[in-house]
Structure 1
Amino acid sequence: MIEGVIVKKLVRHCDDRGYFTELVRDDESLLARFGQASLSLSYPGVIKAFHYHEHQDDVWFFPSGNAQVVLYDLRENSVTKGETSVFYMGEDHPIVVLIPKGVAHGYRVLGNVPATILYFTTSSYNPDAPDEKRIPWDDPLINFDWSTKNR
């Protein structure tokens, strides 16, 4: 796995009313500090990739739908520079993933329903100086094959 990436398995506390799950807590050191929480919905088959940050970390969670999440380590001084990690996240696999600054990330919505992503960052978005660098979804350096492999 890419250095600095943290995967947190979630615990659901279920009863006859439904369930409750903690996503991110201030006492577990996922985020160095809290900056912003955001919510986005993407339609089936959509690929949102790639981007990375120079100053902020992200924590991603997909509460509904399912997604293939791809991370690529761009950090010059990382022992995992050039490595790719893939996670299948969503209602069928409820996990939280910490994405460190300098790691490119993106996702593809799987299945026939939209996917919702809830994400937390260590800094608030600044439209005058956005900490968001874009890389094309089909960048030859990352060279990720987004197609589904029929087995």
Structure 2
Amino acid sequence: MIQGVKIKKLVKYVDDRGFFSELVRDDENLLSEFGQASWSMSYPGVIKAFHYHELQDDLWFFPSGQAQVVLYDLRPDSPTYQETNVYYLGVDNPSLLLIPKMVAHGYRVLGNEPATIIYFTTKSYNPNHPDEKRIPWDDPSIGFDWETKNR
């Protein structure tokens, strides 16, 4: 696992009315500080990749749909430098994924339904100085093959 990445399996408390689940708590030390919470939806087959941040950590959660999440460590001083990790998150695997600063990240929506992502960041978005650096989804230096392998 890329150094600094954390994954938290969510616990659902289910009864005859539905369910309840805590996402993130201040006593879990997942986020070093709170900056912003955001919500986004992407259509089936969409690839949103890659980007990274120099100043903020991200905490991702997919409450609906399915996503293939890809991380790539850009930190030269990290023991996991240039390592790639893949996670499958969504309604079938409700988990939180902490993505440290300087780890490139992106996702592809799997299946036939849109995927919704809710994410928390340690800094608020600043439109005048965005902490959002882009890398093409098919960048050869990362070399990730987004195509599904039929087995």
User: 1:105 & 1:59 partners in 2: Cα distance?
Assistant: 11
Match of 1:94 in 2: 94
CA shift, 1:118, in A, is 0.2
SS at match of 2:54: coil
CA distance in 1, matches of 2:92, 2:59: 18
Length-normalised TM-score, structure 1: 1.00
Deviations 1:14-61 (A, max 9, x none): 000000011111110000000000000000000000000000000000
Query: Equivalent residue for 2:141?
Result: 141
Query: Hey, what's the Cα distance between the residues in 1 that align with 2:134 and 2:148?
Result: 24
What is the percent sequence identity of the aligned residues?
75
Counterpart position of 2:5: 5
Report how far residue 76 of structure 1 moved: 1.2
Matching residue of 2:52: 52
Q: CA RMSD in A?
A: 0.3
Q: What SS does structure 2 have at the residue aligned with 1:55? A: coil
Alpha-carbon separation, structure 2, partners of 1:68 and 1:99: 14
Q: Report how many aligned residue pairs link the two structures.
A: 151
Q: Structure 2 unaligned runs (5+)?
A: none
Runs of 4+ aligned structure 1 residues displaced above 2 Å come to none
Compute the TM-score of the two structures, normalised by the length of structure 2.
1.00
